[in-house]
Amino acid sequence: MELAFVGQKFILVGIIFLISLVVAMYSTYAERKVAAFFQDRVGPNRAGPFGILQPLADGAKMFMKEEIIPTRANPFLFIVGPSLAILTACIGTAVIPWGQKMTIGSTVVDLQVTDINVGVLYLFGVVSLGVYGVMIGGWASNNKYSLLGAIRAASQNISYEVAMGLSIIALLMITGTLSLREITEQQHGFWKDGYFSWNFFKQPLGFLLFIVCAFAETNRTPFDLPECETELVGGYHTEYSSMKLGFYLFAEYINMFVSSAVMSTLYFGGYNYPGMDYVNEQLGNTWGPLVGVAVLFGKIIFFIFFFMWVRWTIPRFRYDQLMDLGWKILIPLAIANIVLTGLVSTFLR
Amino acid sequence: MESLTNRRKLIESKPLNFLERAYLPAILSGLRITGKHFFRKDVTIRYPEQKREFSENFRGQHSLKRDEEGRERCTACGLCALSCPAEAITMIAAERQKGEENLYREEKYAAVYEINMLRCIFCGLCEEACPKEAIYLDGDIVPSNFLRKDFIYGKDKLVEAPLNQ
């Protein structure tokens, strides 16, 4: 029984790992394709039909490239940097509930690797660890541009983590739990007790703050100053080549995937969708939850698309503007949101 | 001072109002604009498969023409080479032998005729200079190549295909 349980978790971990890698791979393709569509172009269309094999070609290229470790760099930390970046990016998916409990035969499969009761805290811990990969890599390169990029990444992440944490606190005041499974179950269906059950409708300002901070945490435009190519050559990965560069780029896309998953779980009901009880009754306990998984992935894909949409719309912030936004606007707003949430939940009850 | 041209415009710089300072409405309208472009038809012509149509007076690769009986019109007078501003054309003339009347129209013909496509600027002056209507720039785009020497086109590439083939 125990062995079966461990095996089941291993399979689940393997599947999630594979899915996040595939999603990250095809995010690179989607990024180029989406950019092309926004600019009235075609995008990659040579490798396979519609360029569908482009990520494989890119990956093969990354592996073939010469691996360079600069002489003046710290070779150990130079390798640790990208490894840490991709590691921390991958372990974030562990606490996300991908679907309702599924029944296969007589066993009940939990579509979540682990339902720890401090899931949100775990996620925050993992996300803040992510900056170490960037910092260590940038420092170990022994290059001014890399170092500047790394410093920017570190200070940016720290500043925005404060606002992100505060925006989450307002959410936690409503949910009363840190477990992601419970938070998702509270958003069951779409309509409950005369109001929308999704947290977005209870915390619109909180979501706005969260998504802005998520852009900053994943180093995406308009906050992509750590790899700002107009000022810093390549930013923290200036000195990197071959698959170590690939890992950094990959980590960025996995981070995007994870933060999209977190946003859909915390604010947009995760695997919940309107009329899910009816669908579950019709399809039974094996296929019903899978529909939920598909819905969750639909939401995730929308958010990834939104990340790209914003990237090809808004120009980059200046560094002082970035800090101004973080400290002078987002944090006061987040605190105001907490006070407002407290007042509303006290007097409306 | 009054401007002489009367085209001076006064530009007011008003301070931004709250909505403009909030930046979010501006982002939303930006997203709307890019969103519109997302669904717009792309303007790309997928080149090797699709080709843009040339205008009627497009000047492409040269061709040396034949007359109605399939004889080469060129008489190797050298006017094209003389008129060429890029010095791209060179030729060696030869005298027509007995029995070659079905090959060459005039008594003199070009035994070797070379155009360096890297020098050619496709101005069409050779076409205008030719008294025999023997050269026209009516071909396609000159294709790319790996070696410089392969850009020197001889008669094998320039002369029109014979009539009855």
Best B29, B42, B46, B50 member to test A by mutation, with max A CBs in 10 Å, is: B42
Contact of B92 with chain A, judged by CB distance below 8 Å, is answered with no
Domain hosting residue B141, numbered range: 63-158
pLDDT on residue B85: 92
Would you say A227 and A234 are in contact if contact means Cβ atoms under 8 Å apart?
A: yes
Q: Which residues of A touch B33 (CB under 8 A)?
A: 313
Contact of B38 with chain A, judged by CB distance below 8 Å, is answered with yes
Quote the mean pLDDT of chain A.
85
pLDDT on residue B18: 80
Cis peptide before A332 (omega within 30 of 0): no
What is the chain A residue with the closest CA to B27? Answer: A314
Cβ pair B44:A42 closer than 8 A: yes
ipTM value > 0.85: no
| B122 located within any domain | yes
| B165 located within any domain | no
Cβ pair A37:B37 closer than 8 A: yes
Residues A312-336 have a mean pLDDT of 87
What is the chain B residue with the closest CA to A208? Answer: B24
Cβ pair A36:B40 closer than 8 A: no
| B8 located within any domain | no
What is the chain B residue with the closest CA to A39? Answer: B37
Instruction: Give the phi and the psi of residue B59 in degrees, each rounded to 5.
Output: -105, 110
Cβ pair A36:B33 closer than 8 A: no
Could you tell me which residues of chain A have a Cβ less than 8 Å from any Cβ in chain B?
34, 36-42, 45, 208, 309-310, 312-314
pLDDT in tens, A21-54: 898 888 889 989 988 888 888 888 888 888 889 8
Q: Minimal Cα–Cα distance from B21 to chain A, Å?
A: 12
| B97 located within any domain | yes
Q: Minimal Cα–Cα distance from A107 to chain B, Å?
A: 46
pLDDT on residue A273: 83
Q: Which residues of B touch A38 (CB under 8 A)?
A: 34, 37-38
Instruction: Give the phi and the psi of residue B93 in degrees, each rounded to 5.
Output: -90, 155
pLDDT on residue B128: 92
**Nearest by CB: A37 against B27, B30, B38:** B38
Q: Rounded to an integer, what distance in angstroms lies between the CA atom of residue A75 and that of residue A69? A: 7
Q: Rounded to an integer, what distance in angstroms lies between the CA atom of residue A83 and that of residue A110? A: 29
What is the chain A residue with the closest CA to B31? Answer: A313
pLDDT on residue A302: 92
pLDDT on residue B114: 92
Residues A139-148 have a mean pLDDT of 87
pLDDT in tens, A84-133: 888 888 888 888 888 887 777 777 777 777 888 888 888 888 888 888 88
DSSP code, position A326: I
**Domain containing residue B147: CATH number:** 3.30.70.3270
Cβ pair A309:B34 closer than 8 A: yes
Say how many domains are in chain B. Answer: 1
pLDDT on residue B165: 54
Cβ pair B42:A314 closer than 8 A: no
pLDDT in tens, A261-309: 989 988 888 888 887 778 777 877 778 788 888 888 999 999 999 999 9
State the alpha helices, DSSP H only, in chain A.
2-38, 54-64, 75-91, 119-140, 144-175, 180-186, 199-202, 204-217, 229-232, 242-267, 276-311, 319-324, 331-347
Cβ pair A310:B31 closer than 8 A: yes
Q: Minimal Cα–Cα distance from B23 to chain A, Å?
A: 11
What one-letter code names the amino acid at A35?
A: A
Cβ pair B27:A313 closer than 8 A: yes
**Nearest by CB: A309 against B31, B40, B46:** B31
Domain spans of chain A, in order of start: 2-347
| B140 located within any domain | yes
Rg (CA), chain B: 29
Tokens of A334: 């987040």
Contact of B33 with chain A, judged by CB distance below 8 Å, is answered with yes
Cβ pair A40:B46 closer than 8 A: no
Q: Rounded to an integer, what distance in angstroms lies between the CA atom of residue B155 and that of residue B91? A: 10
pLDDT on residue B100: 85
Residues A194-215 have a mean pLDDT of 85
Q: CB contacts < 8 Å between A and B, how many?
A: 36
Tokens of A278: 């009816």
Cβ pair B42:A36 closer than 8 A: yes
Cβ pair B44:A313 closer than 8 A: no
Q: Which residues of B touch A208 (CB under 8 A)?
A: 24
Tokens of A290: 């899978």
pLDDT on residue A159: 85
pLDDT on residue B2: 73
Each residue's pLDDT, cut to its tens digit, for chain B (165 residues) gives: 677 887 888 888 888 888 777 788 888 998 999 989 888 888 888 888 888 888 888 898 999 998 888 888 899 898 999 999 999 999 999 998 888 888 888 889 899 999 999 999 999 999 999 998 899 998 888 888 999 999 999 988 888 887 665
Q: Minimal Cα–Cα distance from A18 to chain B, Å?
A: 30
